Amino acid sequence: MYKETTLTEYFNQKPINPNINKIRVKSILNKHEKRDSWFLENYTLNPYSGCSFNCLYCYIRGSHYGGDKTHEISIKSNAAEVLLRQLKLRVKNKEYGIIAIASSTEPYPKIEEELKLTRELLEIIARFKFPVSILTKSSLVLRDMDILKKINENAIIPDDLKPQLRGGAIISFSFSTPDDDIAKIFEPNAPSPKERLETMQKFRKEGFKVGINYMPVLPFLADSEKKIEKMIVLAKNYGADYILTAGLTLFGEGKNDCKTVYYNTLQEHFPDLLEPTKRLFGKMFYPNPKYQRELTERANRLCKKYEIKNKII
């Protein structure tokens, strides 16, 4: 059973990397006005602020969600006690719903292996029988399969979702490309696409509902018919129940904002793609509507061809 403590004792007893910032929060569980139609969550929860994977396209860089220091990790040191209080209130009001972990940062950064903050929060969620939807690039999620199995078996699922969900835990894996060599450039500290696929397959074999968030799809690098087909075939072969596809967004004009960082990366590694990409975005933070429509149509057509869902349910 979950012991009602926080990480305070841990911080007092063990030296913490001075580069790891500790912050206290007033809220950890954020409720939507209505359930997200695509990802199905009613709540979002982010154990950390910032992400050590340092994906160069990350929309948090330069958007109102993050700022320019998204590669720096901050630990929400009182997250457990705050979540405990918030879930008690939600249970009292019978406000059960899917909790998305995490919506704006990686829930399994490298430091999680030592701190076990995400695991601690999952234990609380399991105690209160809330369903979860986890989005990650990390194989460390395998460590928590024991708790996730309890959630999968015991969570109170909203009535309208019961017939379509396998259980109370949805495990999704994020990809921007199926190719390891491209991923190494744009996702320098993240596990390889192959490692993510193998991790997903292990969860599928244990009976979880699993899938791929193919987003953001990198323009001219991962959005062709051939590349999308490759991603969908891999998803199918490794047991994915679904694959969600969406285009790249690029925010900001500052030196550390994702649009600037992304364009600089193209200039270094794929100079021929820089101008076409700039034309695709123009002054917007998203590709032009025609491109987005064609990307969606291409992905939906291929999902139909390979008989894999293009949505979770």
**How do residues 131-141 score in pLDDT, each as one tens digit?**
999 999 999 99
CA–CA separation, 22 and 20 (whole Å): 7
pLDDT tens digits, residue range 220-274? 999 999 999 999 999 999 999 999 999 999 998 888 899 999 999 999 999 999 9
Average pLDDT, the chain: 91
Q: How many domains does the chain have?
A: 1
Spatial neighbors of 23 by CB under 8 A, at least 6 apart, are: 49, 74, 75, 76, 77
Residue 311 belongs to some domain of the structure: no
Is 266 part of a structural domain of the chain?
Answer: no
For residue 271, tell me if it sits in a domain: no
Pull the structure tokens for residue 18.
């001075």
The domain containing residue 48 runs over which residues? Answer: 8-248+288-305
The CATH number assigned to the domain holding 37 equals: 3.20.20.70
Point out the least confidently predicted range of 57-71, 132-146, 180-194, 201-215. 57-71
Rounded-to-integer distance, Cα 242 and Cα 165, Å: 12
| pTM greater than the 0.85 cutoff | yes
- Whether residue 268 lies inside any domain: the answer is no
For residue 31, being part of any structural domain is answered with yes
Q: 56: exposed, middle or buried (C-beta count within 10 Å: 0-12, 13-18, 19+)?
A: middle
Residue 201 is assigned to a structural domain of this protein? yes
Residue 5 has pLDDT above 90, yes or no: no
In a domain, 280, yes or no: no
Q: Of 40, 46, 51, 53, give the one whose Cα is nearest residue 195.
A: 53
